[in-house]
């Protein structure tokens, strides 16, 4: 193998998590143990995302072998990018090597576990190439512990992270400094259709994004929304006030600053994608539903509300759910029914009025399973994706690309409550979407920090 390079040994879970990981180590070499190929072969059957990824890895490897027919396998295969793979085409590429000799793992059944076989192949590789750094890349914490005990360098696969640290995630709102107006004395202001606008030059420190909210607390407080940023200038708009009883959305009014910001973007037809992050009880689902009902029932901007979520259990699975697609999804949609009770509490009409309202809303709110989304197109729909923190970036892309003309997608989630294995705060599809969409002029993101459910729920979120 070439000197001056590192050799990365890939575990099965890395390849099944991201099939393109083969091509993400730049000029360094990649080594695949025979045990990994066997595990990929065992996992290839099925319709799950893991099975599809295992098959894709096999296709990539076969394509590399076909394109390197003039070279012997033990000389390594050039890791040339397959057609259609959107990576840096100008970057240097390393070579792909396979385990061609059996590694000594000793006698005894317990010694022949897949993890131990992989470790044995890594140890043999280190002994064969003492001058080249060898790194085992795996998402299995226990295997990393075993590798450390065996004095092998082991790392987690981090190329799929949207951010290095979750605390760096774009929040969607920022507090202005006291000298804000002094620094922007050369602004231009005007009023149009009941709204006040400001146009001002931006500085390097003001890294604003479209539909980011700025606020100045205190007596001279003001709340602004960045409409667009271009050519060193930003256009800001004074936000609508949804705190007052006369300006409510389907009977719901904002209880704090962030909820007011959220209602502004949820009710704006120019914003096609909205993501709301926040702990339990911050009002994400209630605000999204209220804005959806107002625009479907009152303004008739959208034809209906479609609600879906990742069906990941918190504890043990309760088993088979009978009925139609909507009936199967009903147990997962407790958040929908709970919030509809708040939104359908008429002051007049009593039980009859409530029942009639529920029947009317049920005809305009559709519950759909994510399993059958591929190939669909939603036209003029208001789509709510609940519990989006449990989605992988690939699943998130599948859902968002269902949007047709006139459709608005709202993603809700709490990254502190991820129930999917192998997903973390930095690799969740929701985090990925927030980071990738923040520069687009038709998207908005908000992090809701203040709980409004009850004093019990608020203290539980803090102390438990």
How many Å apart are CA 301 and CA 137, to the nearest integer?
A: 50
How many Å apart are CA 184 and CA 319, to the nearest integer?
A: 61
pLDDT at res. 110: 47
Tens digits of per-residue pLDDT, 211-255?
Answer: 999 998 877 788 999 999 888 889 999 999 998 777 788 888 898
How many Å apart are CA 59 and CA 19, to the nearest integer?
A: 10
How many Å apart are CA 7 and CA 97, to the nearest integer?
A: 9
Helix or strand run (H / E) with residue 337: helix 334-343
Average pLDDT over residues 428-435: 90
Domains of the chain: 7-155 (3.40.50.1010), 166-463 (3.40.50.300)
Kindly give, in sequence order, each residue whose CB lies less than 8 Å from that of residue 305, ignoring residues fewer than 6 positions away.
Answer: 289, 292, 293, 296, 364, 365, 366, 381, 382, 383, 384
Tens digits of per-residue pLDDT, 99-154?
Answer: 887 766 554 444 568 888 999 999 999 998 889 999 999 988 899 999 999 999 99
The pair phi, psi for residue 319, each rounded to 5°, is 100, -160
Spacing of C-alpha 288 from chain mean position = 18
* Cα dihedral value 136, 431, 222, 197, nearest 10: 110
Average pLDDT over residues 400-409: 93
How many Å apart are CA 417 and CA 461, to the nearest integer?
A: 11
How many Å apart are CA 404 and CA 289, to the nearest integer?
A: 20
Q: Let me know: does 435 contact 169? Beta carbons within 8 Å.
A: yes
Q: Tell me the CA distances in angstroms from 372 to 183, 249, 319, 368, 398, one per residue in order.
A: 53, 32, 20, 8, 11
Counting Cα atoms < 13 Å in the Cβ hemisphere of 56 gives 18
Average pLDDT over residues 45-57: 84
Average pLDDT over residues 157-168: 70
């Amino acid at each position: 193998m070439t000197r001056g390079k590192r050799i990365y040994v890939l575990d099965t879970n890395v390849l099944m998590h991201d099939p393109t990981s083969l091509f993400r180590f730049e000029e360094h070499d990649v080594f695949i143990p025979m045990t990994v190929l066997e595990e990929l072969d065992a996992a290839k059957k099925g319709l799950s995302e893991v099975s599809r990824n295992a098959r894709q890895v096999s296709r990539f490897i076969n394509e590399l072998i076909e394109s390197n027919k003039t070279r012997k396998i033990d000389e390594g295969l050039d890791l040339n990018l397959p057609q259609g793979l959107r990576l840096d085409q100008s970057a240097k590429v390393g070579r792909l090597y396979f385990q061609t000799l059996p590694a000594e793992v000793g006698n005894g059944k317990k010694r022949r576990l897949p993890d131990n076989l992989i470790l044995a192949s890594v140890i043999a590789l280190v002994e064969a190439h003492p001058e080249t750094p060898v790194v085992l890349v795996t998402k299995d914490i226990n295997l990393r512990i075993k590798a450390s005990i065996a004095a092998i360098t082991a790392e987690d696969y981090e190329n799929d992270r949207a951010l290095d640290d979750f605390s760096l995630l774009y929040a969607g709102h920022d507090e202005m400094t006291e000298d804000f107006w002094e620094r922007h004395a050369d602004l231009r202001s005007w009023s149009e259709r009941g709204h006040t606008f400001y146009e001002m030059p931006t500085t390097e420190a003001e890294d604003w994004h479209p539909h980011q909210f700025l606020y100045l607390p205190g007596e001279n407080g003001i709340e602004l929304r960045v409409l667009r940023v271009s050519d060193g200038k930003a256009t800001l708009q004074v936000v609508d006030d949804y705190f007052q009883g006369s300006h409510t959305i389907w009977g719901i009014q904002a209880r704090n600053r962030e909820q007011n910001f959220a209602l502004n973007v949820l009710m704006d037809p120019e914003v096609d994608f909205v993501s709301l992050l926040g702990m339990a009880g911050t009002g994400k689902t209630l605000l999204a539903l209220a804005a959806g009902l107002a625009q479907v029932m009152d303004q008739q901007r959208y034809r209906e509300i479609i609600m879906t979520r990742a069906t990941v259990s918190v504890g043990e699975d309760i088993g088979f759910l009978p009925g139609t697609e909507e009936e199967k999804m009903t147990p997962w949609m407790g958040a929908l029914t709970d919030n509809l009770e708040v939104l359908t509490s008429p002051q007049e009409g009593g039980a009859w009025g409530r029942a009639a309202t529920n029947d009317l809303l049920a005809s305009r709110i559709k519950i759909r399973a994510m399993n059958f989304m591929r190939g669909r197109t939603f036209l003029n729909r208001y789509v709510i994706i609940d519990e989006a923190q449990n989605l992988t970036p690939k699943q998130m892309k599948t859902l968002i690309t269902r949007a047709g003309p006139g459709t608005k997608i709202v993603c809700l989630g709490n990254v502190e409550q991820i129930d999917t294995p192998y997903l973390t705060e930095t690799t969740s599809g929701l985090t990925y979407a927030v980071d990738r969409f923040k520069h687009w002029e038709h998207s908005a993101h908000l992090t809701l920090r203040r709980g409004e459910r009850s004093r019990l729920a608020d203290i539980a979120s803090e102390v438990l």
